[in-house]
Amino acid sequence: MQNRRKFIKNVSLISLGGILAGKSDLANASTLSTFSVNAGKKIGLQIYSLGRELFEDIPGGLKRISQMGYSTLELAGYRDGKINDIEMSDFRKMADDAGLKIISSHLNPPMREYTSSNKGEIADFWKRAADDHAKIGVTYIVQPGQPSTRSTEEVSLVCEVFNEAGRIAKANGLIFGYHNHDMEFARVIPGGTEMIFGRRAFGRNMPENIEVIYDGFLRQTDPELVIFELDVYWTVMGQNDPVEYMQKYPDRIKLLHIKDRAVLGQSGMMNFENIFIQAYKNDIQDYFVELERLPVGTQFEGVKKCVDYLLEAPFVK
């Protein structure tokens, strides 16, 4: 008890800077090692943002990320129990050493076309993946790739597969999620042969039961088994408002990808203030910065500019 009280006292002293800066999230003392850097902000990074640069020196790279002010990670590149060529347990250890917590991981089954005959094979993939990820203690396993969805029927089949992946994840103590790009905001019709995007969907000859694919995913997946990681940039690219989706589905959208065309805040096409206001209203606990390949400079430089944007943003708590 004495030790705990002493610990809290020390944390309080270190947190003083945060109090003076008007930060109230002092319960988040686990980020003590990076506290002075990020003033208590819990900012995550999707490691895809660094591309090959991270794998040139993983321990050094992870330490740089931590020093920049990131405190959590979402993995990418899972295959056969490894992240690229690195054993997952080794990756976890290197993240621990850098003071970074792995919350989530992106992974896709090897097939894009789901049929009633390959459902078993897809389930086998998720069983192995869930087992591998449970061992390194992540919370979420997230599918970022859109399977084939050319008709209402294909959307329903995909939802069955997602629900099964969710059951497998849950049996391993994990949560299954789905991450969108832009084409999930295309629409499909019963018996359709293609996704219908943009203004074409409002043509005069479209049936009444035309549905946005993403809405079909939300409607037909079990809320107990499947959560959604909303990529706010791709939602905008899909001609939709991420805030509207967060307002409509507060119990389904549990994670965010905070992303812009390039470095956060530079394009002017993303209203991050409104996005963060709604995220706090929804009590979203985790989000991950994502950055595509930059035409100039290194990915590390870009990732640093992104975290600086969030650290300086008054609307990010």
Binding site for Mg ion (CB under 5 A): 231, 257, 290
Separation between Cα atoms, residue 303 and residue 136, nearest integer Å: 25
Minimum gap (Å) between residue 298 Cβ and Mg ion: 20
- Is the CB of 260 or the CB of 290 nearer to Mg ion? 290
In the complex, what is the shortest distance from the CB of residue 178 to Mg ion, in angstroms, rounded to a whole number? 11
206: CB partners within 8 A, 6+ apart: 187, 189, 196
Q: For Mg ion, which is the closer residue by CB, 48 or 162? A: 48
Q: Which of 183, 176, 94 is nearest to 146 (CA)?
A: 183
Long-range Cβ pairs for the range 132-137 (8 Å, 24+): 132/78, 132/81, 132/88, 133/78, 133/88, 133/105, 133/172, 133/174, 134/172, 134/173, 134/174, 135/88, 135/89, 136/88, 136/89, 136/91, 136/92, 136/102, 137/92, 137/102
Instruction: Decide whether 47 or 201 has the Cβ nearer to Mg ion.
Output: 47
Work out how close the CB of 290 gets to Mg ion at its nearest, in angstroms, rounded to a whole number: 5
Question: Min. distance of Cβ 21 from Mg ion in angstroms?
Answer: 30
By beta-carbon proximity to Mg ion, the closer residue of 40 and 147 is 147
Question: For residues 187 and 257, which CB has a smaller minimum distance to Mg ion in the complex?
Answer: 257
**Smallest gap from residue 293 Cβ to Mg ion (A):** 13
Beta strands in 16-144 (DSSP E): 44-46, 72-75, 78-79, 82-83, 86-87, 101-106, 140-143
